[in-house]
Structure 1
C-alpha cells in the first residue's frame, strides 16, 4: 500500500518513553505523529474496584505470551494512552550513582553504563518537575547527588506508618519518604487533585491525580496543531529503504473509533521512534526482518531482545497486632541493604511500602491466611515490596515465532533476594515485639506472621535492557543518543536502552532519558 502521510517524526507508544518524548518535541513545531495501539483508558467507577482491576482483563491486555518451555504467560501489560504508567504505583526513583558503574553481585557483574549519573542528573531534575515528584532529600543513605531539591514536598506518612518509621530509626535504620509522582497539595487540601485514597498503586486513577504519561505529557500537547495522536493504531511492521539504512514507512493497523472497522495504512517520517516497552519494541524489530536485515531490524549485533531484565520482585505482608487504618500507604522506603551489609558483600536491594492490601484482594486465596481471615489480615497488615537487581544475561531474551512472543528467562540474584526477604522478616518480627508499638501481645495468636510472594515471569512492569546502548555496534543496539547503529533514522526511548537494572523502579530514568534524547532530536531536526 502506498505511503499517504508524511511527518517530521513518528513516535510509536505513549508510555513513559513515548509520551515524554512527544511532550518534549511538541515545542519544536515539527509535524509529529504519535501512534498508540490502545484507546484512552475509560474513567469509570470500575477504576477503583479491586476485583475488576486485579481479577479481570479490563485494564490489562488479554494477549498470551509463552515461556521457554511453551507454557502460557498472561503479561500484565496495559495498552492505553499512557501505557503501563496508567496502572503503575508512581514511585519515581533515581538510579544511584554506583548503579552506572560496574559492580560485583552474587551471581555476576552488573556492567558499567557508557554514560554516567552526571549525564542524567539535569534530566532527572526536569523529569521530577514534569511528573510532580514529591520527596525529601537528605534522608536516604544511598541518595545520589542532587543539583536541586525535590520540586514538591514529601508525601506525609499516615499515623501507623509514621510509627513504623520511628521504630525503624530507633533500630539504627534510615527509612525515608518514597518519591511519589502525584498531584497532591497537602497544605491546601481543597486545591488537591489527589485525595490520598487506597486505590492508587496498581489502579487507574479515576480523578487523574496520578502522574502517569497520559496526564503529565500526552494531554498537555494534544491540542497543538503540529501533534497528531492516533489511538487504536497498532504498528505491524517497519519497512526500510532499498539500502536498509533508513525506515521508509510504518505499517499500521488503524481501527476507526466510530465504525470500528480496521484499515491498514502506511505512514512515513524523517525520524521514527519506537517506545513500545522493552519487550514489544524488540518484538517489532524482530518481526520487521527483511532482506537487508534478515535477523530483524537493527540486529547486526544479534542483541535485539537479549539481556532482558525485569528485577527480582516480591511482596511481604506483615501482620501486626495493632490495626493499620492507613489508606495511602506507599510513602516509606528503606535502602539500608541496597549495597549489602557488614557480613554480606553483595548488593541486596530496596524495600518500600506497597499500596494497602484489602480483604477483597486477599479473598481469592483465603486458605493461605488461615486461621486469620482475609479481613483480619488486611486490617492489621503492613505491606512491603522488595526490589532486587537482576543481571543482564544474553540468554534472557525475547524471541518471536510467527505471532508468538516468547520470553526465555532464568532468574539470577535469587540468593540476594532470599537474604533481603529473610532480613526484612526478622526486622518486622522484632518490630512486632517492640513495646513502643505493640503493647498488647495477645491480640492475635498469628500477629507477627508474614506472608511472602515472588512476582512471576508474567510480571514485566519493570522491563528493561533488550536493546542496550553503547559506543560499539558489535556489543550494543543503540548509540549514546539511542539511535540504532544500523538504521540512521530509527530511535528507541523506552527502557530497552538500559545496560543494567539497578534495584529501583526504572520509570524516572526512562522519563529522564526521553527528555535527553528529545534534546538531541531537536538539534538534529534543526
Structure 2
C-alpha cells in the first residue's frame, strides 16, 4: 500500500507532519485537494505514552520511539559539541512531545519590531490566530496587560491550591499572572501529557489536530519511515522529490511541494539539494537561526501547602517589553523540583559542556541532583523565554560527508548576553518578595524552539520566502514550519506556526480554485 502512494498524482506533497505540516495538510484535505504527507519517522502506536529522552543513544532505538535519530552537531561560540536536541521524527513531529503551550505574540512583535520586518501585520494575522486557537481547543485566560481583543478561549481546569496561592501572591506583589494558554483538554483516563505523546486526544498537536483529521477526509495519504534526500528542479519548479523508502530511492512529482520539516530540517534539505542552496539567490538559506534563551528559576510559594503537583498553569508578561528592552514571557514549566526532573536537566547541561568528556559524568550528576532536591523542597520551576534576534552568521550548515546529521553554527551575540543580564535583574526585582533561585548558570539555548532559517519578506534580496511563504526563486515550493519567522518573539512559536499554516492553506485553496 505504501508504494502505491508513490504512484499516485497528488495536488500537494507535504514533507513533515508537525504543527505546520499537519495543520496545512488538514486545511488542504478538507478543502478537497489530494495531499500526501511524507514523514521521516514511524507511524508508532496510537496508545503509547512516550516522553522525549536524551539518554537513548542508539539511532534505531530513537527512531522507533519517534525521536530524531542522530545527534545535533553544533559549533556554539566556536566550540564543537554533539548532543540530542529535543526534536521528534514521527507523526506530529516535535509537536507530539511538546508541552502544548500556545501563546500569541504581541502587536509590537510584528508591527514595530526594531530588528525584523514582518511582511504581514498583526491585524492580518489576528483572525488566523483566532482560527488556530479554535482548531487546537486552546484553554486559558486573558492576559490582563493586553490591550488587544481577547480570544474566545476555553475554560481551563481549576488550579490546585498551591498554584492558586502563588497566583494571589504574585498579584499582591503587583504582578499580573494569568492562566497559561494550553492545548490540553484533560480527557478522562488520560493525564500528564506535557512533554509526552498523548495516547488519547487530550493534547492537540500536529498529529491529533492535523494529520489524523486530514486522513479521515479520504483525501490524504501518509508515507512514514520515508526520508526526503533532495529536491530536483527544472524551469523554476520542483520537478521531482527524491525519497529514500525501504532501502530504495524513489522519485515523486507533485503540483505543490510544501516543506514542514522544522527550521533545522527544512534548511538542511534545501542545502542538500543544491551546492549553492536551493532557492538561494538571497544567500540566506539556513541563516538567521534563532532560538530562545531559557532563564530557569525555582520559586517558593509563601503559602505552606503540601501535596500539590507540578503543573504548567501560570504565565505573566510584566517583563515582556520593559523600558525599551525586549525580554519575554515567564511561565511555570510543569515540572516539579523533584530528583528525576533535576537530574534530567543537569544531564542536559552536562551534555553541552566540556564536562561531558569526563568518565561517568552522567552518574556524577546524581550527587548535585540529590542535594538540589533537599534544598528546593516544594519550589515551583519557572522559565523566562528571552527573545533571540536573527544574525546571518547563526545558521544551519550542510556536510555532505555526514548528511545524516543536522549541523548548526551559533554565536551568542554580545547584545543577547547584555539583555540576558538585564532580564535576570528584572526577574530578581519582580520576585523580590519571594524566595527564588536561578537554575540557569550559563546562557541556555532552547533547542526545541529553532526558527528563522528561511525567513519570509517582501524583498527577494533579504528573504527566502514571499508573504505567502512561497520561495521567491521557485514557483511551487512553500515552507510552513518555524523557518519562515523573521523574529522569535518572547513566546513559544507553536501557535504562530499553526496560524501561519492556516493562512497559507487558505491561499493555496484559493489558488487551486482559480
TM-score of the superposed pair, with normalisation by structure 1: 0.84
1:119 corresponds to 2:124: yes
Give 1:301's match in structure 2, choosing from 279, 282, 287.
Answer: 282
User: Take 1:201 and 1:30, find their aligned partners in 2: how far apart are those partners?
Assistant: 33
Give 2:33's match in structure 1, choosing from 30, 33, 39.
Answer: 30
**Contact 2:13/2:257 (CA < 8 Å) preserved in 1?**
yes
Shift of 1:348: 2.0
Counterpart of 2:201 in structure 1 is 208
Secondary structure of 1:380's match?
Answer: coil
Structure 1 gaps of 5+ residues are 104-108, 185-191, 256-261, 433-447
Per the alignment, do residues 454 and 330 of structure 1 end up closer, same or farther by CA in structure 2, a change over 3 Å counting? Answer: farther
**Contact 1:359/1:377 (CA < 8 Å) preserved in 2?**
no
Shift of 1:145: 3.2
Secondary structure of 2:50's match?
Answer: helix
Give 1:270's match in structure 2, choosing from 229, 232, 255.
Answer: 255
**Contact 2:294/2:440 (CA < 8 Å) preserved in 1?**
no
**Contact 1:303/1:476 (CA < 8 Å) preserved in 2?**
yes
After superposition, the C-alpha distances for 1:11-64 in whole angstroms (9 at most, x for unaligned) are 11100000000000012222211101111343567636xxx7453344532312
After superposition, the C-alpha distances for 1:401-420 in whole angstroms (9 at most, x for unaligned) are 21153211112322222332
**Contact 1:155/1:177 (CA < 8 Å) preserved in 2?**
no
1:141 corresponds to 2:148: no
Secondary structure of 1:394's match?
Answer: coil
Secondary structure of 2:398's match?
Answer: strand
Which runs of structure 2 are paired with 1:211-226 in the superposition (5 Å)?
211-226=204-219
Counterpart of 2:453 in structure 1 is 466
Counterpart of 1:380 in structure 2 is 378
303-312 or 37-46, larger mean C-alpha shift:
37-46
Shift of 1:233: 1.1
Give 2:244's match in structure 1, choosing from 250, 253, 260.
Answer: 253
**Contact 1:157/1:332 (CA < 8 Å) preserved in 2?**
no
After superposition, the C-alpha distances for 1:61-115 in whole angstroms (9 at most, x for unaligned) are 2312322344323222110100111111111011100000344xxxxx4223111
Counterpart of 2:317 in structure 1 is 335
Which runs of structure 2 are paired with 1:310-321 in the superposition (5 Å)?
310-319=291-300
User: Take 2:343 and 2:490, find their aligned partners in 1: how far apart are those partners?
Assistant: 31
Counterpart of 2:439 in structure 1 is 451
1:229 corresponds to 2:201: no
User: Take 1:40 and 1:486, find their aligned partners in 2: how far apart are those partners?
Assistant: 34
Which runs of structure 2 are paired with 1:11-410 in the superposition (5 Å)?
11-42=14-45, 47=50, 53=53, 55-56=55-56, 57=62, 58-68=65-75, 69-103=79-113, 109-137=114-142, 139-142=143-146, 144-146=148-150, 148-150=151-153, 152-184=154-186, 192-193=187-188, 195=190, 197=191, 199-241=192-234, 243=235, 245-255=236-246, 262-289=247-274, 294-319=275-300, 322=304, 325-327=307-309, 329-341=311-323, 345-357=324-336, 358-363=338-343, 365-368=365-368, 372=371, 374=373, 376=374, 379-402=377-400, 403=403, 404-410=405-411
Per the alignment, do residues 59 and 424 of structure 1 end up closer, same or farther by CA in structure 2, a change over 3 Å counting? Answer: farther
Shift of 1:4: 4.3
**Contact 2:335/2:341 (CA < 8 Å) preserved in 1?**
no
Shift of 1:367: 3.2
Shift of 1:143: 5.6
TM-score of the superposed pair, with normalisation by structure 2: 0.86
Secondary structure of 2:392's match?
Answer: coil
Shift of 1:328: 5.2
Secondary structure of 2:424's match?
Answer: helix
Secondary structure of 2:319's match?
Answer: coil
**In angstroms, what is the RMSD of aligned CA positions?**
2.3
User: Take 2:452 and 2:328, find their aligned partners in 1: how far apart are those partners?
Assistant: 19
Shift of 1:216: 1.2
